[in-house]
Amino acid sequence: MPDTPRRLVFSDVDETLISGKSLFDFLDFYFAARHGTDGALHAAGTRRRIAALVAGGAPREVGNRAYYEAWRGERLDVVTAWGTEWFAQRSATPGFYVPATRTALSEHREAGDRVVLVSGSFPAVVDPVAADIGACHVLCTRPEARDGILTGAVAGEPCIGEGKRRVVRELAEGYPDIDLADCYGYGDHPSDLPMLAEVGHPVVVGGSAELLAAIPGARVLPVGAVV
């Protein structure tokens, strides 16, 4: 990879690069495996709480914070290790990646672009994905830890909505020779709009009508067949 990349390529993760929702899948995976029936009930209760918040009109950022509250008291190193195991199992299953996006990001890397994953999910699950596809940067929500124990709070702001715009701009400042107007962004949900609006080449994965209405000139990538 060249020292000076041609462009930055920003990609959402859940339902853009991978077909599922990593946050909830890992929640179920971890708590059932680590804490048995009580853990499974805890994960289910967390899902219901977040669903109720969303149904009540709460911003997605609020739901994101509620998600991380569920991890209070867990050891960060253990969660990270289970994230690696989660990825090993899930990525071995056909359909884990959205093929069109994975192919597009691979082509960007071969062309000398630098791939950046931008996600409301957290390093335990995003880092293994980033390593697998050769991403250079991970911009994501980071849960707070004290003495290696997760507090249930978020360090800084969630990487959701306007948070994605902020981290994209911050990273771009470290690449003064690159103009965001020349860069690409991949997303599937209206919450990705602030990120997509920062780049000159937005790509909508799956054809969200709301995103396309906001960015009528965006390229569309189909979800496509499994890979």
Tell me the backbone φ, ψ of residue 153, rounded to 5 degrees.
-100, 170
> Where are the chain's structural domains?
8-221
| Neighbour-count burial for 172-209, b at 16+ CB within 10 Å, e otherwise | beeeeebebeebbbbbbbbbbbbbbebbebbbbbbebe
| 73-103 residue pLDDT tens | 999 999 999 999 999 999 999 999 999 999 9
- Residue 227: is its pLDDT beyond 70? no
| 11-56 residue pLDDT tens | 999 999 999 999 999 999 999 999 999 999 999 999 999 999 989 9
Confidence of residue 6 (pLDDT cuts 50, 70, 90): confident
Confidence of residue 222 (pLDDT cuts 50, 70, 90): confident
- Residue 198: is its pLDDT beyond 80? yes
- Residue 188: is its pLDDT beyond 90? yes
- CATH of 8-221 among 4.10.490.10, 3.40.50.1000, 3.30.720.110, 3.40.50.970: 3.40.50.1000
- Output the pLDDT for position 59: 86
Q: Measure the CA–CA gap between 54 and 48, rounded to whole angstroms.
A: 10
- Residue 215: is its pLDDT beyond 90? yes
Q: Which residues contact 190 (CB under 8 A, 6 or more apart)?
A: 208, 210, 211, 214
Tokens of 134: 């050769």
- Output the pLDDT for position 224: 65
Phi-psi region of 36 (alpha: psi -120 to 50; beta: other; left: phi over 0): left
- Output the pLDDT for position 172: 96
Residue 152 contacts residue 46 (beta carbons within 8 Å): no
